[in-house]
Amino acid sequence: TESTGWGMFTFILGFLVVFRAQLSYSRYWEGITLVETACAVWLNGCSNLVAFCSSKPEKQQEVDDFQFLLSRLMSLLVSCIMRDISGLDDERFGYLDLEGIDLDSIEYVEKSASRINIALQWVQRLVIEKARDEVINVPPPILSRVFQEFSVGYVKVVDAKKLSVVPFPFQFAQARLCATRAIGGL
Quick one: which of 139, 154, 123, 147 has its CA closest to 51? 139
Reported for 165-169, long-range contacts at CB under 8 A and 24+ positions apart, including other chains, are 168/20, 168/23, 168/24
What's the whole-number average pLDDT of the chain? 84
Residue 183's pLDDT is 65
Residues 6+ apart with CB under 8 A from 18: none
Residue 15's pLDDT is 75
Residue 171's pLDDT is 65
Per-residue confidence in pLDDT tens, the chain, 186 aa: 677 777 777 777 777 777 777 877 888 888 889 989 999 999 999 999 999 999 999 999 999 999 999 999 998 888 888 888 887 766 667 777 778 888 898 888 888 888 889 999 999 999 999 999 999 998 899 899 999 999 999 999 988 888 776 666 666 666 667 766 766 655
DSSP at 125:
H
Rounded Cα–Cα distance for residues 123 and 60 (Å) = 20
Tens of pLDDT, residue by residue over 1-48, are 677 777 777 777 777 777 777 877 888 888 889 989 999 999 999 999
- pTM confidence score: 0.75
Residue 168's pLDDT is 60
Q: What angle do CA 118, 123, 127 make, to 5 degrees?
A: 145
Residue 28's pLDDT is 84
Residue 1's pLDDT is 63
Residue 31's pLDDT is 85
Rounded Cα–Cα distance for residues 64 and 77 (Å) = 20
Rounded Cα–Cα distance for residues 158 and 35 (Å) = 9
